Structure 1
């Protein structure tokens, strides 16, 4: 049974108990009414509406404005009837209204549907009607403490119950999401174990045997190694993204605030036999444009490694916290031949703007900084830091 079903059952039970209490009060007081027959008529209307509302609210598709409005209108009419049924003397002496606490059922229904906003609205409407009872009966100058207390209790009912309902429904939604994530993670782990025991082992064997045989088999072994690395990266990134996002340089709590694209799977997708990608164990959420621009910069840097460092060069990509409290830093390092001093400036003057535009230009547009360190025979390291916002 879902939480919402339980809430509506609670409203129905309250409505029935409140009706029983109102019936007891009418039986006790009807001899002192100005119009006793009207008191019994109001009790009949309350009984009929209790039966109908209990049935109507069971269907979620009927919990709309027509039913809510009718529920509140019936409660208001029964409450207002007190000015006709009761005598002025009894009202001045503080005798309770004809429906007593039965009208609060309408406030509860509104609170369940629209949380505290609708709950308070319904309570205010019935509070105004409660004052109109004395206005119509001519006893407005003799508002009793019990009347005012009843209005305050209605208001508190709508406020507190509405707030609790919202918290409960939000908690149920989070629990359902957590269960869904756990089930998804277990299934992914099961598939990962199967892949590890079969496909990954076959790819690793093909890579090893291909390297041993040489020739065209070595090329097949190299391709198998790249596919093995890519598949391991896919499994790893899938398990990571299945977890709820925790606090990271680019992520904020759900109470606040920023969310966006996870940079981690974008970078880990670039893993290969010659490319090692290291990232945090939790998502790094950045604005979508920022995440994709950083991924493009890393792709441009790796293209330069493949183009200028030869087929045997290796590269390492590292994603980590930036020096500032709200920054991320990415570095791309290779073991290639490195660059002579002034080579980048020379390339830019010759019109070759790969680094200047694809890397430095992108990071500059993001408001970040780039550092390029290289020396002949020592490889090249490109490190850039960008704001996470």
Structure 2
């Protein structure tokens, strides 16, 4: 039996080329100006460190080695400034994290290298080889990348390295401004970075809402010119013809209302998943051809439990209208936000509720109104009132008013 020839090795698939971005990532766009400003500061502090080198080199015990360290400082300044100021490179945050960590390693190494080029009498009373001003670059980078906590920790770390290299762990430490300056820089830059991130998030949210509103208006115009007009025509003609087409007219009317509600809520009333939610969608979802819902144009945020209880109470009131007011009755739901309290009104044009009917039903053990309506509103510290009772005359109707106080935020 002849062995089968060995199959040729499969060449590895080529890696996709790294594509450069033409604009910064939204998460990095907020701090891009801070990174550029920090690198400009880095170059300025390098010039100061070189000037300090010229002023101090005559006091060093190993002058040639000190110039080697200054050259290393200049090379690292250029490399780190280029890497930290770029946003077009792939995995920019990972690159910046590596550079910031390397920044701390280089700074601390140069700080302790001062003992290799100067004696105790010099470095105890003077700045280290990399001046405090140049060492602050590592603190600024950490603050931009990791926020105020990272900036403060970096400030303490660099300050501890400087004080250790200078052997200043004595009573003179309280007269040394190294630690307060570095920690303050880390805190201030970190807070500025956090503020920039929040501002960028708010800007992105505003842009998304604006784009959603424009798309909603465009979609509403197109739907209104087509689908809504057809549904309205079917509803009108089906009602006029009557008979079996009446049910078709009713279904078309319901879909027309549902579509109008969907268009009015698209993009502007999304649930953000927080502790509060907009009450308006919960009420407008109950709109039908016989139930008209009116809400404010602005969001009405309220606690999730309160929103569910108000919506359930309104649903119970509308169920009573459908059950007792007849099939031809209309109901109207109105939501008002006064700032101090929410007012929800549910009114119908049916025969109304006769005087004493609620107390009579409760005495008979029928707790639908007292529990489903009054009890729900009372559970959220609100009040539910039947504003007027009728004597059974057609068209008089009934009106419930729910008042729920706003919680102090």
Give the TM-score band, short-chain normalised. Answer: 0.7 to 0.9
Match for 2:314 among 295, 298, 302? 298
- What's the RMSD between the two structures over aligned residues? 2.9
Structure 1 counterpart of 2:228: 200
SS of 1:174's partner is helix
Structure 2 counterpart of 1:22: 49
2:335 aligned with 1:319, yes or no? Answer: yes
Deviates more, 1:377-386 or 1:121-130: 121-130
2:31 aligned with 1:31, yes or no? Answer: no
Query: Is the CA contact (8 Å cut-off) linking 2:60 and 2:118 kept in structure 1?
Result: yes
Residue 69 of structure 1, CA deviation: 4.3
Structure 1 counterpart of 2:153: 121
Structure 1's 142 and 41: CA in aligned 2 closer, same or farther, altered over 3 A? Answer: farther
CA distance in 2, matches of 1:40, 1:141: 33
CA distance in 1, matches of 2:51, 2:119: 19
Match for 2:389 among 374, 378, 381? 374
Question: 1:97-150 CA deviation, whole Å, 9 max, x = no partner?
Answer: 3112221110111110122222222223322333334327x9x687898xx355
Give the structure-1-normalised TM-score: 0.84
Structure 1's 312 and 142: CA in aligned 2 closer, same or farther, altered over 3 A? Answer: closer
Residue 187 of structure 1, CA deviation: 1.1
2:257 aligned with 1:229, yes or no? Answer: yes
2:402 aligned with 1:384, yes or no? Answer: yes
Query: Is the CA contact (8 Å cut-off) linking 1:240 and 1:281 kept in structure 2?
Result: no
CA distance in 2, matches of 1:229, 1:144: 74
Question: 1:145-198 CA deviation, whole Å, 9 max, x = no partner?
Answer: 8xx355544333223222222222221221112111111111111111111111
Query: Is the CA contact (8 Å cut-off) linking 1:277 and 1:318 kept in structure 2?
Result: yes
Question: 1:63-111 CA deviation, whole Å, 9 max, x = no partner?
Answer: 44x654442232123223334423455457x654311222111011111
Question: 1:327-357 CA deviation, whole Å, 9 max, x = no partner?
Answer: 2121111111112222222222333322122
Structure 1's 160 and 5: CA in aligned 2 closer, same or farther, altered over 3 A? Answer: same
Structure 2 counterpart of 1:253: none
Higher share of residues assigned helix = 1
Structure 1's 303 and 352: CA in aligned 2 closer, same or farther, altered over 3 A? Answer: same
Structure 2 counterpart of 1:337: 351
CA distance in 2, matches of 1:355, 1:197: 43
CA distance in 2, matches of 1:318, 1:180: 29
Match for 2:325 among 281, 306, 309? 309
Match for 1:108 among 131, 140, 151? 140
Give the structure-2-normalised TM-score: 0.80
Structure 2 counterpart of 1:254: none
Structure 2 counterpart of 1:255: none
CA distance in 2, matches of 1:142, 1:388: 57
How many residues align? The count is 368
Structure 1's 283 and 338: CA in aligned 2 closer, same or farther, altered over 3 A? Answer: same
Any unmatched runs of 5+ in structure 1?
A: 246-257
Any unmatched runs of 5+ in structure 2?
A: 1-23, 87-91
Query: Is the CA contact (8 Å cut-off) linking 1:134 and 1:143 kept in structure 2?
Result: no
Question: 1:5-53 CA deviation, whole Å, 9 max, x = no partner?
Answer: 4433443443344334423433453232122233134224424543554
